[in-house]
Structure 1
Amino acid sequence: MKNHLKRIASPRTWVINRMSNTFITRPKPGAHSLEMGLPLGVVLRDQLKLTTTMGETKKLLNNKEVLVDGKRRKDHRYIVGLFDVLSIPALKDNYRVLVNKKGRLVLKKLDSEESNTKLSKVVGKVVLKGGKTQFNLHDGKNIISTEKAKIGDTFVLSLPKMEVKKILFLKEGVTVFLTKGKHAGHSGILKEIKGREATYSEEGQEVDTAKDYLFVVGKDKAEIKIEN
């Protein structure tokens, strides 16, 4: 059953009915970890309720355009994860994958204008010849650019071309979103970074968290809607 996993053993980040059937589709290895991503078919059937069976889901993917970050995807096992933009042009529906305050992956409905923007966190970089750098992003994508950015910074990208519109630097005073930990789904103003630890302020209260859990989403305010 390599293409499936037991519902009861699926990641706690998945919003699904764990008792309806024994097995659920396992996403193909790819851009996101199992914890931070969902199979496209499960998103369409279990979260958006556009279909009731996986057979219907496969038919939908074959007959209608379903876009992830502006590119058509037909594989029901394709993994969709944090901050990905899902679009169904025929229904004029657009969604962004977020983490809610229970630490679950949820779909936030977007207007058409906001669906053209993607935030991607730099998780690695390799210096290339000619003054260019390959930036490895949290969603498995790579961008080669002359931009100056460090690990932890965020690229604001235009979809579907994945062009860098601006860079949000990880530093004191920026707006951050928490992707993991007991404060997942919360956001606030970054106050301090000390080694692997960080402190942010939410509604006047200072909260300690891990630096790795921070995702810069804006300077004075978030570049995208992050309420969930």
Structure 2
Amino acid sequence: MTNHQKRLSVPKSWPVERKTDTFTVKAGAGPHGEDGVPLLILLRDVLGHVDSRKEARYALSQDAILVNGQPVNDEGRPIGMFDIIALEGLEEYYRVFPDEGGRLALTPIDADAADSRLGKVEDKRQVKGGDTQLSLHDGTNVTVDSEEYGAKDSVVIDNENKEIVAHFPYEEGALVTAVRGNHAGKIGEIASIDVTLGSGSNTVTVETDDGEFETIEEYVVVIDENFVGGEDDE
């Protein structure tokens, strides 16, 4: 199986130039599905900390790079929305966050903010024993003993003990960011949620400092008011 991916066919969320070279690195198996960006691309093409796959492998072999609090040894490991990347030797910490073009970008954060990460609840179901299992956008499953969590809510997960440390309900008045579509990267409060009968997606109207926009609810994620600023996060 090839380790290369044609640049012209990569997902729109990948932060790569499509017309410079023919190929780029291919993502390995892991979270975030096809939207996951190989860690090598972020280390080499975005941050410029390595020049080659060989240098990336060496850095990873030193347990110098953490993703969501865990050392990573695979340069093809898919990185996606809201993941936390820590380069502790350089005292650099980043959150993966979509820019206004919808491409994944690295937002610098402080060391304390790197201890946890945001997750959008994609699904919930009851499991053996009566507990509830939450399935998050990145494939993480969290078991809780409460019914207070709903699909489309957001939770903050502690990277060390994997426990929920904050909960942000999906509701009118909630602060959200658009992560896909024409309004990706915009932030505002939900003004209204319009339920669509049948199998169509519900739509939301979001008020921003510059006006408002409408999108489908699958494209928005609830965030904390301190989430974007990088200070005193979560």
Which 5+ residue runs of structure 2 have no aligned equivalent? Answer: 196-201
1:85-139 Cα distance to aligned partner (Å, 9 max, x none)? 0001111111000000011110011111111121100001120133311111001
Aligned ranges for residues 52-201 of structure 1 at < 5 Å? Answer: 52-147=51-146, 148-195=148-195, 196-201=202-207
* C-alpha deviation, 1:224, in angstroms: 4.4
Q: 2:229: which partner in 1?
A: 225
Q: For 2:54 and 2:20, how far apart are their aligned partners in 1? A: 17
Secondary structure at 1:34 match in 2: helix
1:25-70 Cα distance to aligned partner (Å, 9 max, x none)? 11123210323x2101111111110011111111111124211100
- Which amino acid in 2 is paired with 1:62? S
Q: 1:210: which partner in 2?
A: 216
Q: 2:8·2:22 contact (CA, 8 Å) conserved in 1?
A: yes
- Which amino acid in 2 is paired with 1:85? I
Q: 1:45: which partner in 2?
A: 44
* C-alpha deviation, 1:204, in angstroms: 5.4
- Which amino acid in 2 is paired with 1:197? T
Q: For 2:13 and 2:61, how far apart are their aligned partners in 1? A: 28
Q: 1:2: which partner in 2?
A: 2
- Which amino acid in 1 is paired with 2:74? D
Which 5+ residue runs of structure 1 have no aligned equivalent? Answer: none
- Which amino acid in 2 is paired with 1:144? T
Q: 2:7·2:21 contact (CA, 8 Å) conserved in 1?
A: yes
Q: For 1:186 and 1:93, how far apart are their aligned partners in 2? A: 25
* Count of residue pairs the alignment pairs up: 224
Question: Alpha carbons of 1:7 and 1:223: their partners in 2 closer, same or farther (altered >3 Å)?
Answer: closer
Secondary structure at 1:97 match in 2: strand
Q: For 1:3 and 1:96, how far apart are their aligned partners in 2? A: 26
Q: For 1:64 and 1:204, how far apart are their aligned partners in 2? A: 44
Q: 1:125·1:133 contact (CA, 8 Å) conserved in 2?
A: yes
Q: C-alpha root-mean-square deviation of aligned residues, in Å?
A: 1.7
Q: For 1:156 and 1:183, how far apart are their aligned partners in 2? A: 24
Q: For 1:42 and 1:108, how far apart are their aligned partners in 2? A: 16
State the TM-score, normalized to the length of structure 2. 0.90
Q: 2:63·2:73 contact (CA, 8 Å) conserved in 1?
A: no
